[in-house]
Amino acid sequence: MSKDIEVIDIVDQPDGSAIMNMDVEPEQIQAFAHTGLRYLIEQMLVHDDVSELSPNTFTEATRNSMVLTDEELNALFHFGVISALKRGIEHEQNQEEKENGR
């Protein structure tokens, strides 16, 4: 990724959530979307019975041929950002525990 993600502003919402506006490079959007896809697949593996899925082998062309709508990409990006934020918070908590445990 060529540059850091810049948070432009954060707008608090009445329900307690917030909208974060960021300056994000296309490569970073793809990375967040990929993380979001991995997050959704992990959730599916935890919550759905996938024990009976038969193993399949796909060609590279098939694996890389998916085209997403803006709505689909936005959903994957959303879950990718949430996943990254969770990992960052967990990392900070682990660091604090290590520092307090000394």
> Within a domain: residue 40?
yes
- The reply to whether 6 falls in a domain is no
Residues 24, 5 contacting (CB under 8 angstroms)? yes
- Nearest to 79, CA basis, from 42, 40, 45: 40
**Number of folded domains in the chain?**
1
pLDDT in tens, 14-72: 999 999 898 989 899 999 999 999 989 888 888 887 777 788 888 999 888 889 999 99
Residue 83, in any domain of the structure: yes
Domain encompassing residue 92: 25-46+66-102
Is 56 contained in some domain?
Answer: no
Say how far apart CA 20 and CA 11 lie, in whole Å: 6
What pLDDT does 102 receive? 59
Instruction: Specify if 20 maps to a domain.
Output: no
pTM: 0.68
82: pLDDT strictly greater than 80: yes
CA 54 to CA 19: how far, in whole Å? 41
Q: Which residue carries 């540059």 as its tokens?
A: 3
In a domain, 19, yes or no: no
In a domain, 59, yes or no: no
